[in-house]
Amino acid sequence: MARVILLNKPFGMLSQFTDKSTEGSARPTLSDVVKVPGVYPAGRLDRDSEGLLVLTDDGRLQARIASPKFKQPKTYLVQVEGTPDAAQLQALRDGVTLKDGKTLPATCEQIDQPDLWERDPPVRYRKTVADSWISLTIREGKNRQVRRMTAHVGLPCLRLVRWSVGDWAVEGLAPGAWREG
């Protein structure tokens, strides 16, 4: 039976077990919070993204979760600069053309501010610029895709939280905490 671990990856943590950078100071990695041998991340989350990261010891399951060919739905809660209008939301739903091609259609809606953990460091706040939240579900995984999609429609991303992958969700997990899936 495959082992599945659901981790709430904190902002600033690498989605790998070792830091191969030459920047001098060690950056936080998965090995700082997951002390389970033989599991590996199924996909990635950028260092400046937070939320659900699925780890497993099953290579086939890892491929089914991470590979775009299986079209596993991944839902993100995205804090954006500005307030989306109907045309911006529809463009995200239809798919947008990025430098590396058109994205698949997505599910997208504006939502109320979700009840999330505090981010460290906090998202910058500007009195003169409104921000809002959208829920965006994609079925592929181009590099920094959600950030590029929202920027493309004029809604720069301020905070990006992966809420779910398939049937797994991060609900109830504090940053850095994990549970068996």
Cα–Cα distances in Å, from 148 out to 95, 97, 103, 115, 128? 12, 10, 10, 25, 23
pLDDT in tens, the chain (181 residues): 889 999 999 999 999 998 877 666 778 999 999 999 999 999 889 999 999 999 999 999 998 888 878 888 999 999 999 999 999 999 999 999 999 999 999 999 999 999 999 998 888 877 788 899 999 999 988 889 999 999 999 999 999 999 999 999 999 999 999 999 8
Q: Is 57 a catalytic residue?
A: no
CATH class (in words) of the domain with range 1-68+167-181: alpha beta
Q: What does the domain layout of the chain look like in residue ranges?
A: 1-68+167-181, 73-165
Q: Is domain 73-165 classified as CATH 3.40.50.2300? A: no
Q: Are 166 and 100 in contact (CB under 8 A)?
A: no
The active-site residue out of 19, 32, 46, 57 is 46
What's the whole-model pTM score?
0.93
